[in-house]
Amino acid sequence: MPRFYITTAIDYVNSRPHLGTAYEKIAADVIARYKRLAGFDTHFVMGNDEHSQNVFKKARENDEDPLAYCDRMAREFLDVWQRLDLSFDDFIRTTEPRHKAGVQELVRRMTAAGDIYEGHYEGWYCVSCEAFKQEKDLVDGLCPIHRTKPDWIREKNYFFRLSNYTQPLLEHFQAQPEFVVPDVRRNEILRLLEGGLDDISVSRAGQAWGIPMPEDPSSVIYVWVDALINYATAVGFGTDTLLFEQWWPADLHVIGKDITRFHCVIWPAMLMSAGLPVPRAVFGHGWVHFRGEKMSKSLGTAIEPLDAVQRFGPDPLRLYLVKEIAFGSDGDFTWERFEERYNVDLANNLGNLVSRVATMAEKYREGRLAPAGEPGRLAEIATSALAEYRQQMDRFALEGGAAAAFRIVDAANEYIASTEPWAIARDASRGAELSQVLFDVAEAVRIAAVMLLPMIPGSAREILRRVGDGTPPDRITLDGAVWRNAGERVLIKGAALWPRVETNQKLRSPSVKENVPTPPTAPWAPPVASPSTSEAVTPLSPPATTDNGAPPPAASPVDSRITIDDFMKVDLRVAKVLAAEKVPNSRKLVKLSIDVGTEQRTLVAGIAEAYEPEQLVGRTIVMVFNLKPAKLMGIESNGMVLAASPDGGKPTLVGFNADVPAGTRVR
């Protein structure tokens, strides 16, 4: 059986995972699940990067022992990853003994090769990147990624003769053109190599948090050198030779485009120095943006992935990220777009299709479908979509894989519309034709569901169950997804897989944290533990089909109304702006001092693109008074300003056409 070893970047634990970091893990999970489906013995590793200075600082700020802090964060990360249904086989933490042993062994080998020497470093260091920066890397003196001023440091460091590896790396890039994907990243790295490489620091002095240099315990190994080695220590380097031989070299490292230089230059050079094979490929994916900026905790633009999971379960979010963002490019996340795609792809197209075929199977064939002749045109469409899917997924074009599966879904919906099974059913002489049409639709749904298993694993398994595929989940293979015009299927009707959500324009917070309305969760799915949505949820949508599977009449209005008591929980107040200033390094955020009648407060609002600070001073605004405080760009915001952004454009503040005193309640 061919093997496939896949890893993700290991995360800094100074803050919880956000939708951007989750995106990477979901994409890697889709690849890992695809490889398993395609018959590879797959090993999928994720982990946490715990020796960064920010982690140490954060633990100290919390008055916590750094290791105890990392233990607590590891539980939080694992909880999020499990709720996103990630199928990792191992999770490595850089404070584990197996990792420390392997890191020291690798550095020892680099030293034995004559590639480590002692020197002094003087220059910039960005703690958030954990990277030594050159003047030319900075924009207006700031780190372009974190928009903070790096530290100027001068210390004794051990250096790695990276310059010796310019030529071997160039040769490697020639010999293995697929080493860095997509091409845009490969070209970036090639340009860098062609300019020649400088030696780099591989240790830090005067720090206690880290893995000691083997020959000089007064220095710790530079956190990036420590972190990169996780890919080898997770499969036994330095502790379990057999395991290491079984899995190394890695087939694919999935990482963000900001850290390709570490993975495509420093990491392979370290391995070459230690006499080890280099990984087969590195995929540098793009960034998830929120309102045009990289989603990031330090920039205050992070979205909590569990908000989406609590509303819909993990699958709609997984599908959105994989299908809507071309893997390798940047993409945006907005709740509006997410809800729109949820309604179109899941509620209307796939969910409706599954419900229609099961309804018609029950009504016309007591749930039992078997072929009664030759398959119709759906068979050809599904067969070519499956081939296209393989091609796309093999080159990690995950969005293309998802689109191929949805081509079958669309074709099956069109097939129902054009063949009109309910009309065939009225003619007793066309019984065989009806059996075949229904069987074809069920078979198309089965094939699409197998193809969607990597993207929406829980839902795809449920669909397979409903269309009568009894294969145990671990025995389902891509080879089994070929069209089969044979056998009897027992279809099962169930609750709506994805009840529609109402996506009417609501007042959305102009601050970074968006409102997250209470969800319909898929009623068939295992309940998602959530303090805010623990009560039973009734589907909000009308049934997707009529009793005979025909399209429903015009949808009745969806009832998402709340009671007056619900509304009164939100304490809206009038406030006056006393002072306003732009938040440094942010295009969108403005810091307001406001008078709310009984007190003065600080509030951060995302309205800087629409209002100059001077226009805001003296203005009357409406704010949510009883919102929990949130930190945005390091500033604690106490409340949220109300504004409307027509068509997602610039926000306009809610106001009055008469003078209303500060502190007045709005209801």
Query: Which residues of this protein are in contact with ligand ME8, per CB under 6 A?
Result: 9-12, 20-21, 23-24, 49, 227-228, 230, 255-256, 258-259, 287-288, 294-296
Nearer Cβ to ligand ME8, position 12 or 34?
12
Q: Which of 1, 85, 83 is nearest to 36 (CA)?
A: 1
The structure tokens listed for 616 are 């805001």
Which residue is it, tokens 């049409």? 437
- Min dist CB 482 to ligand ME8, Å, is 35
- Min dist CB 244 to ligand ME8, Å, is 18
- Min dist CB 73 to ligand ME8, Å, is 11
- Min dist CB 285 to ligand ME8, Å, is 6
- Min dist CB 506 to ligand ME8, Å, is 25
Q: Which of 181, 178, 209 is nearest to 67 (CA)?
A: 209
Question: How many angstroms separate the most distant Cα atoms in the chain?
Answer: 90
Nearer Cβ to ligand ME8, position 232 or 592?
232
The answer to whether residues 47 and 230 touch, using CB atoms and an 8 Å cutoff, is: yes
- Min dist CB 169 to ligand ME8, Å, is 18
User: What SS3 class is residue 288?
Assistant: strand
Nearer Cβ to ligand ME8, position 31 or 653?
31
Nearer Cβ to ligand ME8, position 258 or 340?
258
- Distance (Å, rounded) from C-alpha 583 to C-alpha 580? 9
The structure tokens listed for 23 are 């995106």
- Min dist CB 49 to ligand ME8, Å, is 3
Q: At 279, which amino acid appears?
A: P
- Distance (Å, rounded) from C-alpha 56 to C-alpha 36? 38
- Min dist CB 139 to ligand ME8, Å, is 18
The answer to whether residues 254 and 7 touch, using CB atoms and an 8 Å cutoff, is: yes
- Distance (Å, rounded) from C-alpha 105 to C-alpha 99? 10
- Min dist CB 22 to ligand ME8, Å, is 9
Nearer Cβ to ligand ME8, position 48 or 359?
48
- Distance (Å, rounded) from C-alpha 429 to C-alpha 425? 9
Rg (the chain; Cα; Å): 28
Which residue is it, tokens 């893997």? 327
Nearer Cβ to ligand ME8, position 296 or 352?
296
Q: Which residue number is nearest to ligand ME8 in terms of Cβ?
A: 256
Nearer Cβ to ligand ME8, position 287 or 312?
287
- Distance (Å, rounded) from C-alpha 94 to C-alpha 232? 12
Nearer Cβ to ligand ME8, position 295 or 382?
295
- Distance (Å, rounded) from C-alpha 234 to C-alpha 44? 10
Phi, psi angles (nearest 5°) of residue 345: -75, -45
Nearer Cβ to ligand ME8, position 103 or 641?
103
Nearer Cβ to ligand ME8, position 12 or 247?
12
Hey, what's the torsion of the CAs at 480, 481, 484, 488, to 10 degrees? 80
- Min dist CB 164 to ligand ME8, Å, is 22
Q: Which of 506, 504, 507, 534 is nearest to 521 (CA)?
A: 534
DSSP 8-state code for residue 589: -
The answer to whether residues 288 and 27 touch, using CB atoms and an 8 Å cutoff, is: no
